[in-house]
Amino acid sequence: MSRGLLIVLSGPSGVGKGTVCSQLRQRQSDLVYSVSATTRLPRHGEIDGINYFFKTREQFQDMIARDALLEHAEYVGNYYGTPRDFVERTLETGKDIILEIEVQGALKVKEKFAEGVFIFLVPPSLDELKHRITCRGTENADVIDHRMTVAVEEMSLISYYDYAVVNDQIDAACHRIQSIITAEHCRKDRFIAELASMQEASEKA
């Protein structure tokens, strides 16, 4: 059985990563979502273990010390990190997993998983980005300003990604990402790796 695809989705705050991810999961029930750990406080309606594993700074530092995180980064005053075991176990069972993470973390994942699929979700414009994050109503004006500054920095790192997907319409953006996933499953190098293990198995038999 071939390993699943590790898919990384990044993009500035408010571009629609969460919205697109939840749509993708509804369309593709076999796509596994990696739940991150964070020291950020839960937003209204967010559930521990579903949206994030909400941690104190001490608990987060302990996860780092135990090497329990595949990557971690500080973003606008809080820590965020990807629990390692869950990602590795999911890939071994042949399932695809999606990590919704910011750029510093994505670059660290790329060092460990060069074969990962790195997708950057792009806003139609910076004005629309600010409109979306403001309308979401989850951050105060100072945090929004800080996130907008970070957004411009993040977008300058787009060249490290394999794909740039504009989130103009949710349906269209999901469709583009599903097409990317389908195409990545058809890459010849994945087939060649599988062929090698099939040959090995037949030689042993």
Q: Is 16 annotated as a binding residue?
A: yes
52 versus 79: smaller Cβ distance to ligand ADP: 52
Quote the CA–CA distance of 198 and 138 in Å, as a whole number. 51
Q: Kindly tell me which of 5 and 79 has the beta carbon lying closer to ligand GDP.
A: 79
CB of 43 to ligand ADP, least distance (A): 9
Q: Answer yes or no whether residue 4 interacts with ligand GDP by CB under 6 A.
A: no
* Residue nearest to ligand ADP according to CB distances in the complex: 16
For the chain, state the CA radius of gyration: 18
Other residues' Cβ atoms within 10 Å of the Cβ of residue 6: 22
Q: How far apart are CA 122 and CA 43, in angstroms?
A: 24
Is 81 annotated as a binding-site member? no
User: How far from 65 is each of 36, 48, 68, CA to CA, in Å?
Assistant: 17, 22, 8
**Phi, psi for residue 192 in degrees, rounded to 5:** -65, -40
Residue 13 marked in a binding site? yes
Q: What is the DSSP letter of 124?
A: S
Query: What is the C-alpha separation between 93 and 189, in angstroms, rounded?
Result: 19
Q: Tokens representing 119?
A: 């997708």
For residue 94, say whether it is annotated as part of any ligand binding site: no
Instruction: Output 60-63 pairs: Cβ under 8 A, ≥24 positions apart.
Output: 63/37
Candidates 19-27, 58-66, 71-79, 89-97; binding stretch for ligand GDP (CB under 6 A): 71-79
* Residue ranges in 80-109 that form contacts with ligand GDP under rule CB under 6 A: 80-82, 100-102, 104-105
Instruction: Sort residue 14 into left (φ over 0), alpha (ψ -120 to 50) or beta.
Output: left
Binding ligand GDP (rule: CB under 6 A), the pick from 4, 14, 116, 123 is 14
Which CB, 63 or 133, lies closer to ligand ADP?
A: 133
Residue 81 binding result from ligand GDP, ligand ADP, none, given CB thresholds of 5 to 8 Å by partner type: ligand GDP
Would you say 163 or 190 has its CB closer to ligand ADP? 163
Judged by beta carbon, residue 27 or residue 187, the one nearer ligand ADP is: 27
CA-based end-to-end distance of the chain: 17
Residues 161-190 that bind ligand GDP (CB under 6 A): none
Q: Which residues bind ligand GDP (CB under 6 A)?
A: 13-14, 17-18, 36, 40, 71, 73, 75, 80-82, 100-102, 104-105
Provide the annotated binding site.
Answer: 11-18
Provide the annotated binding site for ATP.
Answer: 11-18
